[in-house]
């Protein structure tokens, strides 16, 4: 799938604004700053009730008219979900059954296979884009290991494979960009990010190698991952580099 809602990721990389507080207010601000897609982080917003979640999603979509993706990130992958895994997955499943719900869903490759496959099937049954993700906050796997992780994501049903790693050297960052280019040349949609100060530049450079999504913060002091840059700066630099 080459789209998230109305946004065609084959034509241009999307700048995704991460919504982690005051969802409606922050989403409006993200729209004003030119966000292409909004990511609603249920775990950071502390939302556990599907009815409340869909109410917020519908309100945001009506006020911003921007495609919206949802994730409920596990603690193992850097999230703040509190509670049982079945409840975390169940919340995502419930959102997919609502009309006018999210345009895309993000589920981790590390989630239990049975539960993960349920989310993927439900998303595809409802015509939603599936992002399967992996986040390594400690290191950057080898070039071959990164390729293997992304291949596993596509085999599991990803429309977009998202890989975020922590580089310890410039070689790590270069390897990530090489992996990005390799899958792009094969017609696969990937989103790749090198986190932290060492990989900060990949937030604007990786799209030049084919990364279809890059994630940005709305405010300078509120980011969901190490090295995330402010939305307006990312937009400005990406336009300069096009």
Task: Give yes or no: 33 in active site.
Answer: no
- DSSP string for residues in 17-83: EEE-SSHHHHHHHHHHTT-SEEEEEHHHHT---HHHHHHHHHHHHHHH---EEEE---GGGT----S
Backbone angles phi, psi at 90, to 5 degrees: -60, -35
Which member of 61, 118, 162, 235 is catalytic?
A: 162
Instruction: Give the Cα separation of 237 and 216 in Å (integer).
Output: 12
Which member of 135, 188, 200, 235 is catalytic?
A: 135
Instruction: Give the Cα separation of 194 and 173 in Å (integer).
Output: 6
Task: Give yes or no: 121 in active site.
Answer: no
Q: Are 191 and 211 in contact (CB under 8 A)?
A: yes
> Annotated active-site positions, please?
135, 162
């Amino acid at each position: 799938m080459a789209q998230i809602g109305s946004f065609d990721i084959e034509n241009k990389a999307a700048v995704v604004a991460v919504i982690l507080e005051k969802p409606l207010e922050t989403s409006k601000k993200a729209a004003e700053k030119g966000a292409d897609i909004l990511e609603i982080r249920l775990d950071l917003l502390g939302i556990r009730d599907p009815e409340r979640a869909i109410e917020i999603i519908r309100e945001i979509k009506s006020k911003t008219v921007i495609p919206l993706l949802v994730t409920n990130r596990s603690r193992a992958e850097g999230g703040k979900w509190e509670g049982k895994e079945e409840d975390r997955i169940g919340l995502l499943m419930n959102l997919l059954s609502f009309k006018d719900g999210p345009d895309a869903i993000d589920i981790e490759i590390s989630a239990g296979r049975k539960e993960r496959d349920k989310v993927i099937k439900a998303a595809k049954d409802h015509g939603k884009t599936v992002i399967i993700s992996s986040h390594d906050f400690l290191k950057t796997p080898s070039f071959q290991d990164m390729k293997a992780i992304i291949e596993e994501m596509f085999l599991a049903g990803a429309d977009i494979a998202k890989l975020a790693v922590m580089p310890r050297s410039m070689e790590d960052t270069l390897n990530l960009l090489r992996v990005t280019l390799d899958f792009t040349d094969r017609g696969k949609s990937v989103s790749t990010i090198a986190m932290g100060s060492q990989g900060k530049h990949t937030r604007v450079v990786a799209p030049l190698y084919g990364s279809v999504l890059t994630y940005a913060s709305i405010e300078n002091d509120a980011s969901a991952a190490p090295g995330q840059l402010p939305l307006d700066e990312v937009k400005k630099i990406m336009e300069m580099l096009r």
